[in-house]
Structure 1
Amino acid sequence: MVKNTGQPGYLQIADDLRAQIRGGSLAPGAPLPSTAQLAQRYDASLSVVKMAVGILRNEGLVIGQQGKGVFVSDPDQRPAGGETAGEVAELRAAVQDLSVRLSRVEEQLATSTTRRPGRSSR
């Protein structure tokens, strides 16, 4: 279940699935549960689950097969420099999170800077 920790839900889900893959409970070649099943398991929206799986794809931990599903990749067939790819994926996720947070701040500023009584606009 996604917890209210301040960390985005998609990162929490990606972290949990990554731990399962690295811990061996999701073995190479094993299918991930469907997006709907993961959404139910983590009590999250489909889009949040898709973002989490996308992170794992970028890291090379899972691979999608059209019409079949998403499967844990074989560690021997993962791209070289897996840690670098993982770091890039984490940086992308952090930038995306910061973009969302910045948009919220800008939106709050825009709504809070309404005209104040007694001031004229020029």
Structure 2
Amino acid sequence: MVRHTGQPAYLQIADDLRAQIRGGSLAPGAPLPSTTKLAEQYDASLSVVKLAVGVLRTEGLVIGQQGKGVFVRDAAEEPPAAGEPTSEVAELRAAVQDLSARLAKVEEQLATSTTRRPGRSSR
């Protein structure tokens, strides 16, 4: 349960889950309880629990699998190096770069195709 200690609730939850992982009660490969179950267990909102799990993801202690859940990372697995983007981040960066290039082309085409009509004035 989350206590009123001045420390944010999501950090309290992350600390507790981290202790369970390091203590072995959440073994490598084991799934974390669902967000709903964790929210009930800690008497916290879903968003607070998601923040806590996000902290553990950032630390490389857990890994999410879309549609399957969040699992304790095996210590033998190499977490991403600090500053090294995950594959999701790399994909997002590539998509943004592609969209930026496409937008620049569209803007260029609009600039060259837009001309003022002679003889027209605005009053």
TM-score > 0.5, shorter chain as reference: yes
Shorter-chain TM-score range: 0.5 to 0.7
Which segments of structure 1 move beyond 2 Å, counting only runs of 4 or more? Answer: 78-81
Counterpart residue identity of residue 72, structure 2: V
Larger Rg: 2
Structure 2 residue ranges without an equivalent (≥5): 84-123
Q: Distance in 1 between matches of 2:8 and 2:44?
A: 11
| Identity score, percent | 77
Q: Which residue in the other structure is 1:71 paired with?
A: 71
The two structures have a TM-score, normalised by structure 1, of 0.65
Counterpart residue identity of residue 8, structure 2: P
| Deviation of the 1:78 alpha carbon | 3.3
For 1:76-91, list aligned pairs within 5 A.
76-79=76-79
| Deviation of the 1:7 alpha carbon | 0.2
Q: Distance in 2 between matches of 1:65 and 1:80?
A: 16
The two structures have a TM-score, normalised by structure 2, of 0.64
Q: Deviations over 1:14-42 (max 9, x none)?
A: 00000000000000000000000000000
Structure 1 residue ranges without an equivalent (≥5): 86-122
Checking the alignment, whether the CA contact within 8 Å between 1:2 and 1:12 is kept in structure 2 is yes
Counterpart residue identity of residue 58, structure 1: T
Report the number of matched residues.
83
For 1:1-122, list aligned pairs within 5 A.
1-79=1-79
| Deviation of the 1:63 alpha carbon | 0.3
* Cα-Cα RMSD: 1.5
